[in-house]
């Protein structure tokens, strides 16, 4: 699946293309997509394909096409504080983007059939938290993953505000999926070759909307050949945050507000200084006269003998100016992590500073 938009040179260009094609339509979804580099979820030898609008599969590792993920994110209508269940959570790429929107008081759970993919997802999650330049711009709802078949979830599990299934669902399993939803919740899944959005409007009332045609591998049916018994999947408990964790969230939020206020006071209305554009020289060019006469075109060129010399001088001067300005244009200053700088400047013990920064490497 995929190929709906042009390939990008990097993650931002991929997102630009998805926006232009109207797959990404809201600011929250755009921010989440830009915050997590899709290439970070690829194996090193396959990263050249990361910014193409194509699905990728290697062994049990699988990523859907960017246009599919963007449609899913938009259809889920995510908001801070909601609970989310990802059936077939895979690499954790989608779950991490969702976590950026859910915020610190949301719930973010995933079920994945393959234990090796769970380990891969945990490695990628750890890499994102410890190294991403964009992590400190958000308060993150960290996903929790469990191994098992999503068709064997324990019947006494909690219901969720948002549910996504990343594999093809047969009609016979539609009601099973619906029962995972709270009233008012949204379920997005591939149902009978259509990406489908189902909203639970009441205890037994539903609204269904077909989004687009898709082709997903079907859900793997439970295999009870070994024991003859079902292996129930128990979802992670909805944990209550510790007082220590709540304090970290509150302190980081307060520091962000201070930074925002300082930026506003420095810049007046908070707008950045307008970018400086390179002065372009106006080069004198030869004049061409085109005469239209009874459906035929006659072209003549009027040339001043001095133009050739002036042109060559202008070209040479422009070339020198470009060489002088090129290094600064090609090497912009790296973005400053103001939150990190502010935390490190506080008169606090180092262990507390590192705790506030999630022990991040950058």
Contacts of 215 (CB under 8 A, 6+ apart): 1, 168, 193
Q: Is 64 a catalytic residue?
A: yes
* Catalytic position from the list 6, 64, 95, 132: 64
Question: What are the residue numbers of the active site?
Answer: 64
């Amino acid at each position: 699946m995929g190929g709906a938009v042009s390939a990008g040179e990097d993650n931002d260009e991929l997102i630009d293309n998805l926006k232009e094609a109207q797959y990404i339509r809201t600011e929250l979804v755009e921010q989440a997509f830009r915050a997590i580099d899709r290439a970070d979820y690829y194996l090193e030898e396959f990263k050249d394909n990361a910014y193409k609008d194509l699905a990728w599969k290697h062994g049990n590792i699988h990523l859907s096409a960017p246009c599919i993920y963007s449609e899913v994110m938009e259809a889920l209508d995510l908001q801070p504080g909601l609970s989310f269940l990802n059936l077939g959570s895979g690499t954790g790429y989608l779950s991490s983007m969702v976590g950026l929107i859910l915020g610190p008081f949301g719930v973010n759970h995933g079920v994945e059939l393959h234990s090796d993919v769970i380990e891969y997802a945990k490695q990628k999650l750890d890499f994102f938290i410890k190294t991403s330049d964009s992590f400190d711009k958000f308060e993150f709802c960290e996903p929790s993953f469990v191994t098992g078949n999503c068709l064997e979830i324990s019947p006494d599990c909690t219901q969720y505000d948002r549910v996504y299934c990343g594999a093809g669902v047969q009609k016979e399993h539609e009601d099973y999926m619906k029962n995972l939803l709270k009233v008012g919740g949204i379920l997005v899944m591939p149902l009978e070759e259509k990406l489908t959005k189902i909203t639970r409007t009441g205890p037994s009332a539903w609204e269904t909307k077909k989004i687009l045609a898709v082709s997903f591998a079907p859900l793997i049916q439970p295999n009870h050949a070994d024991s003859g018994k079902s292996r129930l999947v128990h979802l992670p408990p909805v944990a209550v945050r510790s007082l220590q964790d709540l304090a970290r969230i509150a302190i980081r939020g307060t520091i962000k507000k201070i930074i925002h206020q300082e930026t506003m006071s420095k810049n007046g209305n908070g707008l950045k200084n307008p970018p400086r554009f390179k002065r372009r020289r106006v080069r004198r060019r030869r004049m061409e006269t085109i005469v239209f006469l009874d459906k035929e075109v006659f072209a003549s060129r009027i040339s001043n003998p001095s133009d050739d010399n002036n042109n060559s001088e202008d070209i040479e001067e422009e070339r020198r100016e470009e060489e002088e300005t090129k290094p600064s244009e090609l090497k912009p200053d790296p973005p400053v992590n103001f939150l990190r700088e502010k935390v490190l400047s506080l008169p606090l013990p180092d262990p507390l500073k590192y705790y506030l920064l999630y022990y991040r490497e950058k």
